[in-house]
């Protein structure tokens, strides 16, 4: 069970899926999830591992203490979380299907709060899945950060939004180092 705002975005995204294709980004209507706009973001995809933030809601800007436009979404995550998140995003883009990551949002002084991060691919005019609709939804009070800004997100788990079509991530290790 996900947060109600995460469910809202999952439902909005699903309504736009046609013939197994990711929704066209031009058909996305933010009025459908107006209550979650402060936690919503759009990120592009220029190549594997490059996901520049294009838009970010007010709560996200407040949590990170800056405008994130142009920053790579993966750079907001702890280095140990990036490979798994990138792999899940690429699987979700190819499927196409939404994913939900649970994470800890941590400040520089170690304060933390729990969040859900929803990511779902969007199709551009050229037919390519070149963007992601995202939601960064706190699941614990942000007051736990005591006014400090988020320095990094630490991944706890990733799952598909549907148990049946969930991307099944498998981790592989080489010489004790996670590679996929």
pLDDT at 167 over 50: no
Summary mean pLDDT of the chain: 91
- pLDDT band, very low/low/confident/very high, at 132 (cuts 50, 70, 90): very high
Average pLDDT of the segment spanning 156-168: 66
Residue 79 has pLDDT above 90, yes or no: yes
Average pLDDT over residues 119-147: 96
DSSP result, the chain: ---HHHHHHHHHHHHH-BTTBPPBGGG--GGGGGGGGGGEEEEE-SBTTB-BEEEE-HHHHHHHTS--TTSBGGGGB-HHHHHHHHHHHHHHHHTT--EEEEEEEEETTS-EEEEEEEEEEEE-TTS-EEEEEEEEEESS-GGGGTTPPEEEEEEEEEEESSSTT-------EETTEE--
Bigger pLDDT: 161 vs 130 = 130
Predicted pLDDT at 168 = 43
Confidence of residue 1 (pLDDT cuts 50, 70, 90): confident
Mean of the pLDDT values across residues 99-126? Answer: 97
Over pLDDT 70: what percentage of the chain?
A: 89
Confidence at 176, pLDDT banded by 50, 70, 90: low
pTM, rounded to two decimals: 0.88
């Amino acid at each position: 069970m996900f947060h109600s705002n995460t469910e809202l975005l999952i439902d909005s995204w699903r309504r736009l899926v046609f013939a197994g294709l990711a929704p066209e980004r031009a058909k996305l209507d933010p009025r459908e999830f107006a209550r979650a706009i402060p936690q919503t973001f759009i990120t592009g995809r220029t190549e594997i591992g490059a996901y520049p933030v294009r838009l970010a809601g007010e709560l996200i800007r407040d949590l990170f203490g800056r405008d994130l436009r142009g920053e790579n979404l993966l750079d907001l995550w702890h280095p140990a979380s990036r490979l798994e998140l990138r792999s899940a995003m690429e699987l979700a883009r190819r499927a196409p299907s939404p994913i939900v990551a649970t994470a800890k949002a941590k400040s520089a002084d170690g304060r933390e709060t729990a969040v859900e991060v929803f990511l779902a691919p969007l199709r551009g005019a050229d037919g390519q899945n070149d963007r992601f609709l995202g939601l960064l939804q706190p699941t614990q009070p942000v007051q736990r950060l005591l006014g400090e800004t988020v320095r990094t997100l630490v991944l706890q788990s990733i799952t598909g939004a549907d148990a049946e079509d969930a991307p099944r991530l498998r981790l592989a290790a080489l010489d004790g180092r996670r590679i996929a």
